[in-house]
């Protein structure tokens, strides 16, 4: 590996989570990296979290693969790139010919959206496989957002985000932005931003079953029973309409369905939902009145409301609440970004507007969204015999054994595949089943631009990060691996081989990620377009601004940015309105009762963790054990449990054993385990992670408990039994 100049200073953005914090990296003489926040970054303003400091750990990790490997009976064997590509293409073509096109499945993990090369070139490779069995992390945690955006605004990427820097009333449901720095709301240093809301006389209220890190920054935190947020939202809307507090303002000219919403929420008064949600009816009414009366207000919900049985309805109702109170597309409310590289203006194949239920999964008949099926059905599609059974699997930057429900079942399913290939630089709990692993370069060996997270940012900015290190000549970037596989899958015969080589070289030389980015910037909202002498934004200009460029606060953009056929907001999409019947039947007509001895399990995220592969950094896992179960003292006393005691957590699908932390930050009847752990499986090669193995929460989450509308896993609100192990 050729390294950067010694004792040199570099600026870039951290790409380990959603926050895209600007960082300052000093490469010391011994190649040690000193990483600090970039105070001149106009977006993050010097903030970084502990993950950014671990970028060097991951780059220098001795467990990181740097060459293709093949799994053999004697262990992993290093092979050359051409040999690896040939073997992958031959096996995929063989399985395609023998079993049909849907016998191959693909899975894109969360890091894909943190890598603009993968994001731009993965779609072409996946299309070359001609399969409907496409999966990704989208259906693990954020599908509800995309579905509601598609149905209401006409495009899955029209995702309103809180205008944090100008709001005077922030209502948070099921989110912990002080730890995530946003998540579907890119906001580095969100803790300071929350403090600034209160300093200017505003208010922050959190609704959550746990007193989280965000709760410590809020004016008020209210406990809610997991899985009942939908009733709270319906009740808030009931008050808005019942007391005449709705005000569309300028939105009235291009919004339809207001009367439908008024009728829909009429049967959900606060008094009817209070005992089920655990929130007093007077409290609900006061919250609705304060929200509607605020100078500017915004409701934001994330994992806690997205990954439950009514996640899609929750995200829709959040959009509705923001809209009917006049807080959509309004400063201080829920607004749409105008990113420099605008995916909404990209060709349909690169950033499709969306689709819903064009086809369904083979076994459980779950609906597709935007060409993908819910990942909860992946294991059964591998294990269930018959035409269309998945026989081969391609993963890129993913570890679904730890990140999807009923992970042990998927573990068994992957072990029985005829062929599996992984684009990954770790042998982890999922990739250990691969026959071939194709390792890409590290994030510090490639340039970077945040295509996805500028689309979710609370302020319009742009920043390009050049590669810090020059990779070895034998290394391959993710996008190069994807292009190579695509051309090999597409070509047949002598002329096909020749055409494939020409196409591959043309893309690499003339149409790689940087060229696409440059074109996107030029034809974007701030670009030079057809005038090369314009002072507008180009990639060259962006490269000359190492700290990034501030493009200003979010601005009103409707109805111009709408993608619905009639350029109107669809406030009451039929499929979502219809799903409220399921809400009523499940939660109101037959209120969920406390199961004897069982508790409701929710997840949690730690500031030093995001994806499972970060657990191989010693600085991120050091200290007291992070994989614990949080429990209220009353629940612990009923089970005669003491602090630090190891407990057995059981559900329908499996068991885990974890130490217990007894704390009043949990709502009685609710327990919490963090996600991403479970590094005790045989066959992985992650030395540090294995020393801090923990247990996977997804060994007890249930693949059959889902949001029936869209198929998202209902991770939050799993019924579990918790007992002492002895």
670-705 pLDDT tens trace = 999 999 999 999 999 999 999 999 999 999 999 999
First-to-last CA distance in the chain? 52
Residue 349's pLDDT is: 62
Instruction: Using the predicted structure, report yes or no on whether residue 343 has a pLDDT greater than 60.
Output: yes
d(CA 472, CA 352): 35
pTM of the model as a whole: 0.95
d(CA 498, CA 507): 14
Residue 590's pLDDT is: 78
570 and 604 belong to one structural domain: no
Helix axis angle, 229-242 to 270-277, nearest 10°: 160
Q: What share of the chain has pLDDT > 90, as a percent?
A: 87
Quick one: DSSP state of residue 366? Answer: P
* Mean pLDDT calculated for residue range 600-607: 92
pLDDT tens-digit map of 201-242: 999 999 999 999 999 999 999 999 999 999 999 999 999 999
Residue 551 lies inside a defined structural domain of this protein = no
Q: Note the residue count of the chain.
A: 726
113 and 207 belong to one structural domain: no
Residue 285 lies inside a defined structural domain of this protein = yes
Residue 503's pLDDT is: 63
Query: Is the preceding peptide bond at 334 cis, omega within 30 degrees of 0?
Result: no
Give SS3 for 176: coil
306 and 184 belong to one structural domain: yes
* Mean pLDDT calculated for residue range 697-720: 95
d(CA 20, CA 264): 40
Residue 174 lies inside a defined structural domain of this protein = yes
Residue 706 lies inside a defined structural domain of this protein = yes
Is residue 422 within 8 Å of residue 431, measured between CB atoms?
A: yes
605 and 702 belong to one structural domain: yes
pLDDT tens-digit map of 164-173: 999 999 999 9
Residue 154 lies inside a defined structural domain of this protein = no
d(CA 711, CA 392): 23
Q: Find where tokens 């810090």 sit.
A: 468
Residue 607's pLDDT is: 86
CATH number at residue 490: 3.40.50.740
Structure tokens at 233: 């939202």
Other C-beta atoms closer than 10 Å to the C-beta of 682 total 6
Is residue 514 within 8 Å of residue 447, measured between CB atoms?
A: yes
pLDDT tens-digit map of 376-433: 999 999 999 999 999 999 999 999 999 999 999 999 999 999 999 999 999 999 999 9
Instruction: Using the predicted structure, report yes or no on whether residue 163 has a pLDDT greater than 50.
Output: yes
480 and 406 belong to one structural domain: yes
Residue 684's pLDDT is: 97
d(CA 147, CA 154): 10
127 and 255 belong to one structural domain: no
Residue 608's pLDDT is: 85
Q: Is residue 1 very low, low, confident or very high in pLDDT (cuts 50, 70, 90)?
A: very low
CATH number at residue 212: 3.40.228.10
Is residue 381 within 8 Å of residue 363, measured between CB atoms?
A: yes
Residue 657 lies inside a defined structural domain of this protein = yes
Helix axis angle, 311-324 to 143-153, nearest 10°: 50
Number of structural domains the chain divides into: 3
* Mean pLDDT calculated for residue range 585-591: 86
Instruction: Using the predicted structure, report yes or no on whether residue 346 has a pLDDT greater than 80.
Output: no
Residue 147 lies inside a defined structural domain of this protein = no
Residue 664 lies inside a defined structural domain of this protein = yes
245 and 285 belong to one structural domain: yes
Note down the domain range covering 127: 69-131+374-445+470-511
Among 551, 581, 611, residue at a domain's last position: 581
Instruction: Using the predicted structure, report yes or no on whether residue 7 has a pLDDT greater than 80.
Output: no
What is the bridge-based pairing of β-strands 203-207 and 220-222?
parallel
* Mean pLDDT calculated for residue range 110-132: 94
Structure tokens at 405: 């429900």
240 and 121 belong to one structural domain: no
334 and 193 belong to one structural domain: yes
Residue 4's pLDDT is: 45
Structure tokens at 295: 């100078």
Mean pLDDT of the chain: 93
257 and 396 belong to one structural domain: no
386 and 504 belong to one structural domain: yes
Is residue 133 within 8 Å of residue 373, measured between CB atoms?
A: yes
Residue 383's pLDDT is: 98
Instruction: Using the predicted structure, report yes or no on whether residue 494 has a pLDDT greater than 80.
Output: no
Strands (DSSP E) found in 160-251 = 161-162, 169-173, 203-207, 220-222
Instruction: Using the predicted structure, report yes or no on whether residue 107 has a pLDDT greater than 90.
Output: yes
What is the bridge-based pairing of β-strands 392-396 and 419-423?
parallel
265 and 335 belong to one structural domain: yes
């Amino acid at each position: 590996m050729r390294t950067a100049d010694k004792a040199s200073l570099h600026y870039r953005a951290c790409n380990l989570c959603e926050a895209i914090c600007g960082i300052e990296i000093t490469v010391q003489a011994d190649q040690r990296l000193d990483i600090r926040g970039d105070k001149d970054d106009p977006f993050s303003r010097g903030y970084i979290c502990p993950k950014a400091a671990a970028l060097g750990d991951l780059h220098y990790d001795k467990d990181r693969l740097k060459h293709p490997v093949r799994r053999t009976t004697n262990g992993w064997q290093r092979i050359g790139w051409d040999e690896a590509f040939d073997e992958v293409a031959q096996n995929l073509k063989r399985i395609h010919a023998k079993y049909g096109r849907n016998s191959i499945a693909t899975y894109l993990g969360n890091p894909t959206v943190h890598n603009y090369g993968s994001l731009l070139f993965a779609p072409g490779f996946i299309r070359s496989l001609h399969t409907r069995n496409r999966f990704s992390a989208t259906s693990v945690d954020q599908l509800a957002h995309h579905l509601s955006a598609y149905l209401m605004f006409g495009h899955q990427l029209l995702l309103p985000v809180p205008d944090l820097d100008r709001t005077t009333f922030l209502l948070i449901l099921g989110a912990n932005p002080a730890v995530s720095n946003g998540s579907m709301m890119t906001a580095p240093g969100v803790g300071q931003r929350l403090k600034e809301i209160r300093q200017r006389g505003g208010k922050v209220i959190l609704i959550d079953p746990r007193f989280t890190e965000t709760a410590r920054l809020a004016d008020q935190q209210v406990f809610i029973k997991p899985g009942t947020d939908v009733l709270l939202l319906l009740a808030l809307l009931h008050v808005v309409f019942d007391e005449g507090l709705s005000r569309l303002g300028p939105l009235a000219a291009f919004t339809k369905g207001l009367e439908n919403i008024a009728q829909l929420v009429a049967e959900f008064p606060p008094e009817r939902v209070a005992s089920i949600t655990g929130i007093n009816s007077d409290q609900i009414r006061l919250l609705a009145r304060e929200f509607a009366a605020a100078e500017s207000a915004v409701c934001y919900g994330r994992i806690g409301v997205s990954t439950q049985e009514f996640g899609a309805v929750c995200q829709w109702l959040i959009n509705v609440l923001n809209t009917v109170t006049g807080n959509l597309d309004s400063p201080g409310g829920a607004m749409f970004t105008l990113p420099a590289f605008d995916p909404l203006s990209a060709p349909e194949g690169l950033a499709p507007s969306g689709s819903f239920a064009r086809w369904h999964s083979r076994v459980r008949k779950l609906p597709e969204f935007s060409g993908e099926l819910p990942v909860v059905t992946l294991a059964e599609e591998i294990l269930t015999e018959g035409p269309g059974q998945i026989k081969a699997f391609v993963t890129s930057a993913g570890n679904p054994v730890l990140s999807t429900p009923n992970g042990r079942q998927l573990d068994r399913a992957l072990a029985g595949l005829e062929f599996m290939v992984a684009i990954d630089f770790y042998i982890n709990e999922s990739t250990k089943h691969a026959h071939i692993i194709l390792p890409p370069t590290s994030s510090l060996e490639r340039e970077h631009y945040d295509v996805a997270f500028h689309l979710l940012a609370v302020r319009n900015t742009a920043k390009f990060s050049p590669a810090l290190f020059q990779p070895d000549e034998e290394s391959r970037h993710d996008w190069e691996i994807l292009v190579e596989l695509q051309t090999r899958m597409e070509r047949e015969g002598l002329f096909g081989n020749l055409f494939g080589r020409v196409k591959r070289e043309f893309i690499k030389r003339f149409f790689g990620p940087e060229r696409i980015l440059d074109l996107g910037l030029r034809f974007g909202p701030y670009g030079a377009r057809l005038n090369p002498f314009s002072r507008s934004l180009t990639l060259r200009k962006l490269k000359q601004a190492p700290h990034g460029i501030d493009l200003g606060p979010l601005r009103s953009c409707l109805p111009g940015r709408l993608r619905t056929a009639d350029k109107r907001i669809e406030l009451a999409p039929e499929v979502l309105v219809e799903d409220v019947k399921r809400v009523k039947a499940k939660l109101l007509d037959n209120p969920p009762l406390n199961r004897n001895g069982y508790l409701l399990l929710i997840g949690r995220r730690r500031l030093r963790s995001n994806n499972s592969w970060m657990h191989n950094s010693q600085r991120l896992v050091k200290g007291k054990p992070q994989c614990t179960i949080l429990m209220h003292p009353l629940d612990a006393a009923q089970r005669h449990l003491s602090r630090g005691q190891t407990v057995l957590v059981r559900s329908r699908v499996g068991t885990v054993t974890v130490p217990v932390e007894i704390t009043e930050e949990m709502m009685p009847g609710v327990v919490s385990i963090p996600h991403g752990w479970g590094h005790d499986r045989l066959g992985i090669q992650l030395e540090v992670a294995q020393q801090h193995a923990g247990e996977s929460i997804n060994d007890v989450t249930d693949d059959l408990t889902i949001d029936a509308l869209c198929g998202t896993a209902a991770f939050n609100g799993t019924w579990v039994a918790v007992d002492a192990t002895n």
